[in-house]
Amino acid sequence: MDEYPEPVHEPAAGALDPRAELREFLRTRRARLRPEDVGLPDFGRHRRVPGLRREELAQLAGVSVAYYTRLEQGNGRNVSAEILDAIARALRLSDAEHAHLTHLAKPKQKKKPAGRAQQVRGPLRTLLDTMDGVPALLVGRRSDILAWNRMAAAVFGDWAELPAHERNWARLVFLRPEYRDLFVDWEHKANNVVSQLRMDAGSHPDDPRLSALVGELSVKSEEFRRLWATHDVKDKCHGVQRLHHPLVGELDLHPESFHLANDHEQTLATYHAEPGSPSVEALRLLASWGTDATRAGAGMPPARTA
């Protein structure tokens, strides 16, 4: 199955280095597996590194050690989908991790610049406004919050009071203390935000705004640095989002995400409550309070002036 990769060009200034990203992603995925996890004997008394050795992973994937070593060093442009599939199976990657590996190893040429402005279609804004009883928002690249309805503002805060560049989930979660109080399991929320940002970085390594965001958060937040270094990736999440709202107390909401048909870089996110639950009544209270609830939001302080 061996194929020999061709050299990779250096990244543009202000961009993430795809070779380094590929190297660290494969290394961290390999480190989390033990030989016994994949049916190999463990002669681990003299192991110098955690997890599988390169030669063990190469054996499982059916490639030579030399070939896999070159791939893990970041030389993956000429690798076939068949070999990537074999490596993904050997590493037991999730669907999101498999997609991330493919983006890193075989980045596609984008027709539009990665740093371009993100536009929201008028009908989408109308749709958000018609979803009266359900918090809903539109999220774009880099976890930017592009548009939202009144219920989303009542639950999460009045983002209209923030400068446009601060309407970003990663900035809110890691740099604004009130969001630590809002999310009952802040660590889980933070991990999801970083994991999704990693997916974005795999698809858009040449985005200078994304690189600048990662750099700023790495400087300002120790938690972000720690989570970013894990190289974990995850697609949009679902389940239960537990919140502690400053006006109505505990809220248990179920997030659902939908990629737009004409723009997969934008996602419609909704948060609904189980019928008949206390959270339904809490949302109705917030809706009835209107502007007062919106301004209270996540306990968000007044906007900062430039």
**Mean pLDDT of all residues in 169-174:** 97
Listed residue (139, 142, 201) closest to 171, CA to CA: 142
Give CATH for domain 122-296.
Answer: 3.30.450.180
**Mean pLDDT of all residues in 154-166:** 93
Q: Could you tell me how far CA 101 lies from the centroid of its own chain?
A: 14
Q: In whole angstroms, give the CA distance from residue 299 to residue 157.
A: 7
pLDDT score recorded for residue 150: 93
Asked whether the predicted pLDDT for residue 306 surpasses 50, the reply is no
Q: For 110-129, how does the pLDDT look when each residue is reduced to its tens digit (9 = 90+)?
A: 555 555 678 898 999 999 99
* pTM summary value: 0.84
Listed residue (212, 209, 264) closest to 236, CA to CA: 264
What are 268's two structure tokens? 């419609």
pLDDT band at 300, cuts 50/70/90?
low
pLDDT band at 218, cuts 50/70/90?
very high
**Mean pLDDT of all residues in 275-283:** 95
What is the second-level CATH architecture of the domain 18-105?
A: Orthogonal Bundle (1.10)
* Average predicted confidence (pLDDT) for the chain: 85
Q: In whole angstroms, give the CA distance from residue 232 to residue 280.
A: 33
CA dihedral 288, 290, 292, 295 (to 10 degrees): 130
Q: What angle do CA 116, 146, 251 make, to 5 degrees?
A: 150
Q: In whole angstroms, give the CA distance from residue 68 to residue 66.
A: 6
All structural domains of the chain with their residue ranges? 18-105, 122-296
